[in-house]
């Protein structure tokens, strides 16, 4: 299921919520969920970065790199700090809420076009 969600993400660039839903179902424990999605998006973003690097001049890619890497480090640090303070139940609820908001944003974006 997680593999299918990843394929959907790659094929249609819309699978972020699908991947999170699949991971949430397959990995109910918050640390396994976080570690799996972190590895998944780190790999996916590394591939995207390589594709952008290959097709564009170095100037825009360097700017993207200068913003993305500190953001990734900060959110990784923040996730580690918050993980120990959030209960399994609160984590499940927050995940569900964020997936619902993500779905609503995707619907609003589709309707706006």
The 8 Å CB, 24+ separation contacts for 1-5 are 1/25, 1/26, 2/26, 2/36
What are the pLDDT digits (tens) for 30-56? 888 888 878 877 787 777 777 777 776
**Tokens 């949430």 belong to residue:** 24
CB-based contacts of 33, cutoff 8 Å, min separation 6:
23, 24, 27, 91, 95
| The pLDDT value given to residue 73 | 83
Q: Please report the DSSP string for 40-60 in residue order.
A: HHHHHHHHHHHHHHHHS-HHH
**Tokens 């993500």 belong to residue:** 102
What are the pLDDT digits (tens) for 55-113? 766 666 677 777 877 888 888 888 888 878 888 888 888 888 887 887 788 788 878 87
Residue 1: pLDDT band with limits 50, 70, 90: low
If one counts every other C-beta atom within 10 angstroms of the C-beta of residue 26, the result is 13
Q: Rounded CA gap, 41 and 2, in Å?
A: 13
Ranges 14-18, 23-27, 53-57, 58-62, most confident: 23-27
Q: Model-level pTM greater than 0.85?
A: no
What tokens appear for 36 in the block? Answer: 């799996």
Q: Rounded CA gap, 46 and 39, in Å?
A: 11
| The pLDDT value given to residue 93 | 86
């Amino acid at each position: 299921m997680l593999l299918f969600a990843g394929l959907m993400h790659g094929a249609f660039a819309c699978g972020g919520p699908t991947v999170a839903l699949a991971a949430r179902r397959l990995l109910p424990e918050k640390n396994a969920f976080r570690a799996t999605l972190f590895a998944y998006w780190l790999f996916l973003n590394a591939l995207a970065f390589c594709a952008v690097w290959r097709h564009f001049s170095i100037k825009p890619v360097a700017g993207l790199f200068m913003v993305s890497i500190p953001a990734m480090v900060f959110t990784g640090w923040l996730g580690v700090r918050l993980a120990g303070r959030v209960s399994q139940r609160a984590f499940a609820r927050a995940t569900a809420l964020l997936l619902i908001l993500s779905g609503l944003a995707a619907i609003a974006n589709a309707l706006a076009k």
